[in-house]
Structure 1
Amino acid sequence: MSDITGAILAGGRGMRMGGEDKGLLMLRERPLAEYVIKALKPQVTKLIINANRNRERYAAFGYPVVTDHHDDYPGPLAGMAAALRHAATDWVQCVPCDTPDLPADLVRRLSAALADHQARIALPFDGERIQPLFALIHRSLLPELDADIAAGRLAVGRWMRDHPHVEVDFSDCPEAFANLNTPEELAAHQSCGD
């Protein structure tokens, strides 16, 4: 479990953000994706970014940019499938591009839980709900994921629970999984410290 690809999911339409590309929105003079890169990079051996718009701007961060293989923005599962398809490692740690407070030990805790289970997915549990966009996923699930996306089975949490998984307790830091989905949430976060 020492060789893991980190995948930043920035391929969505940003509908609740007025259609803006969330990973490129500025938080205290830095793009949101930059915070996620800074937090995730020390935890993984490789890093890729899933983006369907502004690919050249994401490429400027210095990491490979991969696009969805599936048409019409089918959602986060398509971004995860793109990451699994292009990863050079067996395990891929997914994280959304709009979570600037990512846990510094996310990968360590998820991978440690997998060492004790025969699971193919590790999911953070924040004390109230699972956080499927932060899944650590084995690349062998790609064929099933592609098939389910093609069939329109797009509910992320349901898809994760339908496969061998382990839920990992992160109830000590539920705020680390907060997405900045709306202009109001982004504005409120502007006043928080780094």
Structure 2
Amino acid sequence: MPTSSPPLDKKLITGLVLAGGRGIRMGKVDKGLQCLHGKAMALHVLQRLAQQTATVLISANQNIDIYQEFGFPVWQDHMEGFAGPLAGIQTGLLHCITPYLMCTSCDSPYLPTDLADRLSSALLDSKAELAVAVTLESRNGMLQKQSHPVFALMKTSVLGGLTTYLENGGRKMQAWHTSLQICEVLFEDNTAFRNINTLEELRELEN
């Protein structure tokens, strides 16, 4: 039987927390700074991500001074106008000094503690440029695959193609993925990738 490649040494991976959105569905508040169990959601994510990577960057376009208090470098989008998560990834790649970048969302506080290991092992096995997390979701009594494109590990060499895609007006994550060699990694716990999009969802989770 084929054996899996050992995961990458975490010294080769930079983490990126995407916190650069407008938070429209949460009432135009900064999602990453909303409190969950006594601390900001982004801080929950940062603490989990920092254990799996050499260092962590934060992509943010507002409340920069507050994010800087978390103790990690904070970068605003290279592109203007809140161009979406791909603009945050582009900025992360521009400032990444390791050969791999792993990105996550600021509003998913329970991301897997083995995310980097599993994504990197699969990426090496498949000789892919990008590995993305997927889960199985029940819809109409059937299990269907659900991709979580923000939760991805990529080679920093994808920067050139991403920049071209953005400059040509592209904004959709999964459309960009079609231009790459990607592999999907199945995670059993779909709650680990849950996004907290509204204040009501945040209060329900806290209770």
State TM-score, norm by structure 2.
0.89
Match of 1:159 among 176, 187, 198: 176
Match of 1:47 among 30, 44, 56: 56
Could you tell me how far 1:160 is from its partner in structure 2?
1.5
**1:129 matched residue in structure 2:** 146
What residue ranges of structure 1 are gaps of 5+ in the alignment?
none
1:176 matched to 2:176: no
**2:201 matched residue in structure 1:** 185
Q: Aligned AA for 2:100? A: W
Deviations 1:134-190 (A, max 9, x none): 1111111111111111211111122113211000111x1111000001112111111
Q: Aligned AA for 1:99? A: S
Q: Whose radius of gyration is greater, 1 or 2?
A: 2
Question: Counterpart of 1:72 in 2: which secondary structure?
Answer: coil
1:66 matched to 2:95: no
Structure 1 distance, partners of 2:206, 2:174, is 29
How many pairs were matched up? 190
Q: Aligned AA for 1:158? A: A
Structure 1 distance, partners of 2:128, 2:100, is 12
What residue ranges of structure 2 are gaps of 5+ in the alignment?
1-7, 137-144
1:56 matched to 2:65: yes
Could you tell me how far 1:53 is from its partner in structure 2?
0.5
Structure 1 distance, partners of 2:21, 2:185, is 26
Show structure 1 runs of 4+ deviating over 4 A: none
**2:40 matched residue in structure 1:** 31
1:95 matched to 2:95: no
Question: Counterpart of 2:18 in 1: which secondary structure?
Answer: strand
State TM-score, norm by structure 1.
0.95
Question: Counterpart of 1:88 in 2: which secondary structure?
Answer: coil
Match of 1:150 among 155, 167, 184: 167
Could you tell me how far 1:117 is from its partner in structure 2?
1.4
Question: Counterpart of 1:126 in 2: which secondary structure?
Answer: strand
Deviations 1:89-135 (A, max 9, x none): 01000000000111010000000001111211000111221111011
